[in-house]
Structure 1
Amino acid sequence: MSRISINYIEFYCKHIDVIKAFYGSAFGWTFTDYGDDYTAFEDGALFGGFHRNPEETAGGNPLVVLYTKDLEGVKDKVIVAGGNITVDIFSFPGGRRFHFADPDGNVLAVWSE
Structure 2
Amino acid sequence: MNEVAIGINYIEFNVQDMMRSKQFYQQLGWQFIDYSPYYCEFNSGSLKGGFYQTKEISSKGGALVILYSENLEETYQTLKEAGATITSEIIEFPGGRRFQFRDLDGYELAVWSK
Q: TM-score, normalised by structure 1?
A: 0.49
Q: TM-score, normalised by structure 2?
A: 0.48
